Structure 1
Amino acid sequence: MPRSTLTGSRIRERRTLKGLKQADLARSVGISPAYLNLIEHNRRRIGGKLLVDLARELDADLIALSQGAQAPLVEGLRAAAGEAGEARDPAEVDRVEDFADRFPGWAGLVTQQRDHIGALERRVEALNDRLAHDPYLSDALHDLLSSVTAVRSTAGILNAGDDIDPEWRVRFHRNIYEDSQRLADGAQSLVTYLDTIGSAQEGLSTPLDEVEAWLAAQSYALGDETSAETHTDTRHAPLKTLAAQTLAQDWQAKAARDAQAMPLAQVDAVLAQHGPDPSALARAANMPLDAAMRRLAALPPADHRPPVGLARCDGSGTLTFRKPLDGFALPRFGAACPLWPLYQALLRPTVPVRRVIEAQGQPARRFVAYAICQPVQALEFDAPQIVEATMMIVPLEHAGRTVPSAEASGDALGVGSTCRVCARAACAARREPSLVMVDHT
């Protein structure tokens, strides 16, 4: 039911909480108890002076009485119900607004728990990547194990007998003290390091991490008039290493060429007519398809421009660039999901791939993925073929006319971020067992 049609239910709930009788409230606002009864059972619409008088008598906010819970709370409850899947006791979605109006505290708790579960899932993905591939973490764990072994060995010597020279005994005690101090400091450093995973303060361990953090700080928008004055020189950017500066200059040079070949006005015109369709932009600007994908992913943020994610890999499948998108996780370390259209494009160079995919998560969301694999240099006789694949990701609800309705409403390809945190147990492309045991297939 529309929120405004539940005004009577809110009036009845407020009256009950205040301990007022229906006849007393009706008398105070100048209507009959029978008419108030019809209002409270949502059989009569109410507004104007009568609604103002009822809000005054009930000591209630006029907007809260007429509109009920705020829209984000109601939408949060609907999303939580949709994410529950095939539960044994399915949620009563048709009574979401009534529940939010009657029990706003519980409704807020449900939505908070939903957000918390989503944050935990993202953190598990980040921890998995870090535990499996971070060299710093490997060294830190090695140092901890070395300290534990040293303390254990020294303690074993001291416990072996009392015939140890006093001078050596003092040395052993000092060694245990120093090793235990190093162990405590190392453990504290490791805990602090793990606490930063998935946060804005997370350490940057590779030049690519530095470049992506730098791009994220400016919404990945380079090469346009809005960013030309402040981001023309990467030497002044907060990039610590020369390698990161080199990668940033390369990306900025590509963005500048793309912006020059595909001006912002032309891109907005294509978006208005075709939606975020990279093939339409490539045709309009007579540019390669991967350049059109880069251009759409590097647009300055605006309300009329849809969110766009981007991933690139080389011929080995290693991700060389990531622009994440809400609901579609791009692993920072390690191998990604082999079912991504990005890798399917590697099998058919120069052949465009478009696929509706469903990313696992809470909630499971659908996206449209566009991918193309193209040579990165001119082909020569007897020279190795070097290719690079690019994949652009757009939420299905923002794809608009770029996807036929039959394709958008049909079966989607289920994908994950990486095998270790993917719960699709029956996946034929699985490389290793999942840490998540729940099967969402």
Structure 2
Amino acid sequence: MAIGKLYIGRKVRDLRLANRATQAQFAERIGISISYLNQIENNQRPVSASVLLSLAEKFKIDLADLSAGEGDRLMSALSETLSDPIFAAYAPNLQELKLVTQNAPGLAHALIAAHQAYRHNSEQLASIDDTLGRTSGLTENTPYEEVRDFFHFVDNYIHEIDLLAEKLAGELGIGDTDSYAALNGYLEQAFGVRITRAGRDDDLIRSYDREARILTLNPYLPAATRDFQIALQIAQLSAGQAIDAIARNAAFRTSEAYEICRIGLHNYFAGALILPYRKFMDAAREVRHDLDLLSVRFGASLEQVCHRLSTLQRPGLKGIPIFFARIDRAGNITKRHSAAKLQFARFGAACPLWNVHQAFESPGRIIRQLAETPDGVRYLCLSTQITKGGRGFHLARQHYALALGCEISYAANFVYADDMDLGNRAAYDPIGISCRICERTTCAARAVPPLKGRLVIDHERRATLPYRLKEN
């Protein structure tokens, strides 16, 4: 196997820290000098083929895990940023993007953050009049988006929290016994917290009285939501210090972002507790990622199962690289993560040719699609609709579509690919990431021209689109 120059310092460092090894111990184990390891971790030297093979042998990891993932996400975000017309005078090639993301990831993150602030400022100025514009402060990246990027760039996997949750799940027998009984019993025995049913409060999901040590839950919650809320309370009580430390170390710009991150980390612990890493990954492999079977096996919702599949990124024990998203009827991506090459657009709606939009037309079904992006990578895409809320006839329900998938080379690990013609090029639908950055010039579903596309207007001729895109 030919191996090009790989600058994967962060991955090597994360692997060393995950194994609780000093640089001296780690270097000795893979047979290199401490100075060479230090240069690798700081992206001053690439890893050699012999070092890669030693890492794979000593730590039982797949070579593919070391050469993809983190850089793909950062390079996708940077490429989208540089497609903005404000960078019209500069069009970096693929090699330049790789050099920046591999050797100066901090600079890439800073440029992305600066571009986000610019976009927010521009949008604000466009929506207010001159008087308000002169008196209003300009905003930066919102706290919510800042936290979203935090999880995105750590691969949606928090090693310390995941290990804590898995350890507790093993002690409680989660995955082998009734989750509700185990969680309820632990909450009362370890923390003296009792669970009660709420009265007539349609909006309430959970409420915790710290003084009385009473957790109040809506009595009409689905079992999966009820168990998740109990697990979330356990997260607050048992992993609070670790979670607070991780949020502090993220160095968010505002207290709002810090608090939002704490909520996200509590939710992460809860998901990892009810779907413990090794048991869940083993079950996923056994049933070949059958979402319904996994949901029944662990008493979890389809959304919990799909989300957890996208977090199986533990160093040395990775699952299938999966992309996951949740989309509302308006096309807004309300959750997103990708461990695959497919990266979701940071701005704008998702591609209209993607099968996730069809899920709203066929509730209760899993929609399948073979798709190909402009870079030639092919995917197995799955989508299904879910309904949330609506505890009673008069309460509103929220409808979402869940999207899940993988690169076609992993499709055999999914039961949904069994009768699909994976080798037939004509079976693949051409999709993009977002119209604003899509390279396809003849797509009839295009909503807006690409940011860097040059338009050709012909008043004497009209096709599906009212313009043509000039070929580069």
1:430 matched to 2:415? The reply is no
Q: Which of 259, 272, 286 is the equivalent residue of 2:299?
A: 286
Report the secondary structure of 1:357's partner residue: strand
Does 2:405 align with 1:393? Answer: yes
User: 296, 306, 312: which one pairs with 1:299?
Assistant: 312
Deviation at 1:283, TM superposition (A): 3.6
Hey, what's the Cα distance between the residues in 1 that align with 2:353 and 2:117?
20
Is 1:212–1:323's contact at 8 Å kept on the other side of the alignment?
Answer: no
Q: 1:132 to 1:251 in 2, by over 3 A?
A: closer
Structure number having the greater helix percentage: 1
Aligned partner of 1:269 in structure 2 is 282
- Aligned-pair CA distance for 1:333: 1.4
1:387 is displaced (CA, Å) by 1.9
Aligned twin of 2:24:
none
Match of residue 354 from structure 1: 368
Q: 1:141 and 1:383 mapped to 2: Cα distance?
A: 36
Q: Tell me, in whole angstroms, the C-alpha distance in 2 between the residues paired with 1:231 and 1:204.
A: 28
Residue 254 of structure 2: aligned partner:
241
Q: CA deviation at 1:139?
A: 6.5
Q: Is the 8 A contact 1:369 1:393 kept in 2?
A: yes
TM-score (norm 2): 0.48
Partner of 1:331, secondary structure, is: coil
SS of residue matched to 1:342: helix
Q: Do 1:354 and 1:371's aligned partners in 2 also have CA atoms closer than 8 Å?
A: yes
Partner in structure 1 of residue 119 of structure 2: 134
1:358–1:365 CA contact under 8 A, matched in 2: yes
Paired residues, number: 272
Structure 2 letter corresponding to 1:252: L
Query: RMSD value over aligned CA atoms?
Result: 4.4
Alignment match, 1:168: none
1:259 is displaced (CA, Å) by 2.0
Change (3 A) 1:321 1:242: farther
Q: Quick check: which one's strand share is greater? A: 2
Alpha-carbon distance in 1 for matches of 2:93, 2:347: 28
User: Displacement of 1:328 after TM fit?
Assistant: 1.5
CA gap of 1:374–1:288, structure 2 versus 1, over 3 A, is same
In percent, how many aligned pairs have the same letter? Answer: 19
Q: CA deviation at 1:279?
A: 3.8
Q: Is the 8 A contact 2:120 2:140 kept in 1?
A: no
Say whether 1:373 aligns with 2:373.
no
1:224 CA displacement: 1.8
- CA 308–270 in structure 1, closer or farther in 2 if over 3 Å, else same: same
Conserved? CA contact 1:255–1:294, under 8 Å: no
Contact 1:346 1:373 in 2 (8 A): yes
Q: What's the offset of the Cα at 1:292? A: 0.6
Structure-1-length-normalised TM-score = 0.51
Contact persistence 1:373–1:389 (CA under 8 A): yes
Residue number in structure 2 paired with 1:308:
322
- Post-superposition Cα deviations, 1:330-361, rounded to whole Å, max 9, x if no partner, equal 11112221222332223333432232221222
CA distance 1:377–1:252, shift in 2 (3 Å): farther
Cα distance, 1:227–1:119 mapped onto 2, change above 3 Å: farther
Structure 1 residue 319 displacement after superposition: 1.4
Determine whether 1:327 maps to 2:341. Answer: yes
Q: 1:265 to 1:329 in 2, by over 3 A?
A: closer
Structure 2 gaps of 5+ residues are 3-48, 50-62, 68-91, 101-107, 131-138, 167-238, 454-468
What displacement does 1:294 show? Answer: 0.6
Tell me, yes or no, if the aligned pair for 2:390 and 2:396 is still in contact at 8 Å: no
- Which of 359, 364, 367 is the aligned partner of 1:345? 359
Q: Give the counterpart letter for 2:142 in structure 1.
A: T
Structure 1 spans left out of the alignment, 5+ residues: 4-62, 64-70, 76-111, 146-202
